[in-house]
Amino acid sequence: MVALQSIFIKAYWSLAALGTLYFLCLAALIHPTAQNYAIYMHKLQLTWFHDLTIPEQFGFAKNQVTPFFIPTPDGERLFAWHVLPLGLYSSHRDPLIQQPTGVSSSPTSTENLRLLTSDPDSHLIIHFHGNAGTVGAAIRPGYLRSLSAAQPSKIHILTIDYRGFGLSSGSPSEEGLITDGLTVVDYALNELNIPPERISLVGQSLGTAVTFAVADRLIDRTPPIEPKAIISIAGFSDMEEIVRTYRAGGVFPILRPLRTYPFLVGWFLQFLRESWDSKTRIAEIVRKSGKANLVLVHAKNDYEIPHDHLETLWISAINATVEGGVSKEWVAENVKTEVFGDESSVSVWQKGEKRIAKHVVNWGGHNNVVSAAGTSVLVAKALGF
Ligand SMILES: *[C@@H]1O[C@H](CO)[C@@H](O)[C@H](O)[C@H]1NC(C)=O
């Protein structure tokens, strides 16, 4: 009896300690620097003991990837990878491998970039990755190859580490990441002379928020700049909603223990310093654009960002094409969904030259959905191949 009682007392104190730890962690997140680390996780490089300037270490063929730095207008240096699609690499291997290896100080004079700029049918994907890690982390090298798999001699990829990530200078912020994204697009437009209709933006996770923000800013320019396609993979509606629903590591729902105390959730959320409001930005893009080509992809089994976020983005985008707006029910009734067997379900909304497609992929979760074969195909089709 006494033993049992002491087990209960121990259990009670362990729970109390866990609860206190949880509240201490939440309280710490109110601090701007801690919050910044928690949102961007840029110090979690995940490529320790590897050298990002030697992409061969990440499974690429010799000189398939050109590493270089792009300067931003506000004085940062962004580390970039240009990834040559494998079909093109294979047919030009001899001249490619004879070039020097490592960081290129004049990327535009490499054979790799020349293959991109000299082919009027080639297409450039500018890719924005998710939080944590670097261009070479975890699943990223794999999908930097698979994204071009459906058109392996035409689809090039340019990707960067945002400020504060990997070998890039500075520290991250919403405005900083948007500047980084615009810097890469300007590099493609002005240094590589690739027209907007041969450029598409593809983001994953946090990168989708960068994608929408960048596309929104580009359309505000005179003349407006519209990429061929804007592709969001595993996106989210806005920062507040992501904090409400995000599951750390796909397991621990950060704010769920507070669900019976809405005022505590609200109190915590008021300390969020950045909004990453994609649901508003996607509507702005659709509203201002002449020929928006939006593709939203999300796995049904994404345990990190629930696929309700996809629905919010989808409704918000369609809503912007209809005078007076639409309801969720209206969309469900008026947009048909085509089931692709066990792979995915696809819904397409077309209004004039504006096209918004939603792909709910049945498998792949938050990360592997990017490298799914079906994703490579729908990306190539969105690019016009
Ligand atoms: C839909 O658009 C209307 C304006 O046309 C706006 O008032 C409303 O908030 C929008 N709803 C959603 C869900 O975005």
- For residues 110 and 104, the answer to whether their CB atoms sit within 8 Å is yes
Task: State which ligand 1 atom lies nearest to the alpha carbon of 326.
Answer: 1
Q: Which of 281, 319, 326 to mutate to test the pocket of ligand 1 (most atoms within 8 A of CB)?
A: 319
Domain annotation covers residue 18: yes
H-type helices in 92-234, by residue range?
93-97, 111-117, 140-146, 174-186, 206-219
Full domain range(s) for residue 113: 38-321+334-382
Domain annotation covers residue 193: yes
Same structural domain for residues 24 and 62? no
The owner of tokens 């048909």 is 336
pLDDT at 255: 72
How much distance in Å is there from the Cα of 220 to the middle of ligand 1? 21
- Whose CA is closest to atom 14 on ligand 1? 316
Domain annotation covers residue 301: yes
Task: State which ligand 1 atom lies nearest to the alpha carbon of 322.
Answer: 5
Residue 102 has pLDDT above 90, yes or no: yes
Domain annotation covers residue 328: no
- For residues 81 and 59, the answer to whether their CB atoms sit within 8 Å is no
Same structural domain for residues 107 and 159? yes
Same structural domain for residues 6 and 87? no
pLDDT at 57: 97
The pair of structure tokens assigned to 331 is 């969309």
Between 86 and 239, whose confidence is greater?
Answer: 86
pLDDT at 6: 77
Domain annotation covers residue 89: yes
Total domains present in the chain: 2
Same structural domain for residues 113 and 86? yes
The band of 1, judged by pLDDT with boundaries at 50, 70 and 90, is: low
List pocket residues of ligand 1, CB cut-off 6 Å.
315-316, 319, 324-325
- For residues 280 and 239, the answer to whether their CB atoms sit within 8 Å is no
Same structural domain for residues 104 and 145? yes
Task: State which ligand 1 atom lies nearest to the alpha carbon of 283.
Answer: 14
How much distance in Å is there from the Cα of 336 to the middle of ligand 1? 21
What are the pLDDT digits (tens) for 234-277?
Answer: 999 999 888 888 776 666 666 777 777 777 777 778 888 899 99
Measured N-to-C along each axis, helices 206-219 and 278-288 cross at an angle, to the nearest 10 degrees, of 30
Domain annotation covers residue 329: no
d(C-alpha 104, C-alpha 100), whole Å: 8
The enclosing domain of 54 has a CATH number of 3.40.50.1820
What are the pLDDT digits (tens) for 25-43?
Answer: 777 777 888 888 888 999 8
pLDDT at 339: 96
Diameter over CA atoms, the chain? 83
- For residues 42 and 172, the answer to whether their CB atoms sit within 8 Å is yes
Task: State which ligand 1 atom lies nearest to the alpha carbon of 324.
Answer: 5
Residue (of 37, 46, 75, 284) closest to 176 by Cα position: 75
d(C-alpha 212, C-alpha 289), whole Å: 13
d(C-alpha 188, C-alpha 185), whole Å: 5
The pair of structure tokens assigned to 68 is 């270089």
Mean local confidence (pLDDT), 227-237: 97
Same structural domain for residues 91 and 215? yes
d(C-alpha 68, C-alpha 166), whole Å: 13
The pair of structure tokens assigned to 157 is 């990829």
H or E stretch including 68? strand 65-71
How much distance in Å is there from the Cα of 167 to the middle of ligand 1? 41
- For residues 359 and 314, the answer to whether their CB atoms sit within 8 Å is no
